[in-house]
Amino acid sequence: MATATVVLDPGHGGTGNIGGSDGNHAVSPSGVKEKDLTLILAKLVKTELQNAATAGGHTITIVMTRTGDVNLSLADRAHVARTNHADRFLSIHLNAFNGVSRGVETYVRRAQDNVNLADDKRFAGNIQSAVFNVIHNADSGTHNRGVKEEKFGVLNDVSLGNTSGGHCRACLLEVEFLDVPAVDVLLNTGSNATAVRGQIAKAIAGAIINDLVHP
């Protein structure tokens, strides 16, 4: 059994760039915006995490960085983890590149300024494999792009509180490439899209629980 605080961060929101956070980034061929899908997925994850916690006898406090169509700076998103003494921080995004590239990838803060790299990688690995398995089961055209290191502001250990007594594992999930037509069908317009969204959320919730129970 676990007692923990989890922060869910739906990427982007609102309009315009605030402190390094764009209002929106990816847009699907049918017009679904990344900022809206990240919020939908985060809310689903919250529900699944609450259900899993109840079923497993865990006490998990879930905090969302935003619950509406508003933007926060990257630092302010991380500060939600610091303020709440969070144990896990997951930022949810969707990719976009050339309308062809595909796959699931998860990022941790790069090694040279990450004070808990191994822990972050373990958490990210749990998230990555869980989400990849769900998407690959639904669409074999996806790819496992793995866990990568990057200098993402939302994963900054100072902002997360990890250099001032905090102990928050953090990663950023790029669910798939939203600008690809097949992904639009998979996540938005296909007959199974609602089910797939739910499966992704359930997988993320399970990965978070797994990471908390087997640290």
Binding site for Zn ion (CB under 5 A): 11, 25, 93
Nearer of residues 88 and 93 to Zn ion, judged by Cβ: 93
Q: How far is the CB of 44 from Zn ion (least distance, A)?
A: 17
Q: How far is the CB of 184 from Zn ion (least distance, A)?
A: 16
Q: How far is the CB of 153 from Zn ion (least distance, A)?
A: 12
State the Cα–Cα distance between residues 147 and 81, nearest whole angstrom: 21
State the Cα–Cα distance between residues 199 and 127, nearest whole angstrom: 13
| Structure tokens that stand for 69 in this block | 């169509």
Nearer of residues 122 and 197 to Zn ion, judged by Cβ: 197
- Crossing angle of helices 193-213 and 117-138, in 10° steps, is 150
CB 28 within 8 A of CB 179: yes
State the Cα–Cα distance between residues 150 and 138, nearest whole angstrom: 28
Q: How far is the CB of 174 from Zn ion (least distance, A)?
A: 7
Nearer of residues 2 and 40 to Zn ion, judged by Cβ: 40
The strand pair at 144-150 and 88-95 is best described as unpaired
Nearer of residues 82 and 93 to Zn ion, judged by Cβ: 93
Nearer of residues 11 and 161 to Zn ion, judged by Cβ: 11
Whose CB is nearest to Zn ion? 93
CB 176 within 8 A of CB 183: yes
Q: What is the amino acid identity at position 198? A: G
CB 10 within 8 A of CB 70: no
Nearer of residues 22 and 149 to Zn ion, judged by Cβ: 22
Q: How far is the CB of 9 from Zn ion (least distance, A)?
A: 11
Q: How far is the CB of 26 from Zn ion (least distance, A)?
A: 6
- The C-alpha torsion from 215 through 110 and 171 to 95, rounded to 10°, is -150
End-to-end CA distance of the chain: 12
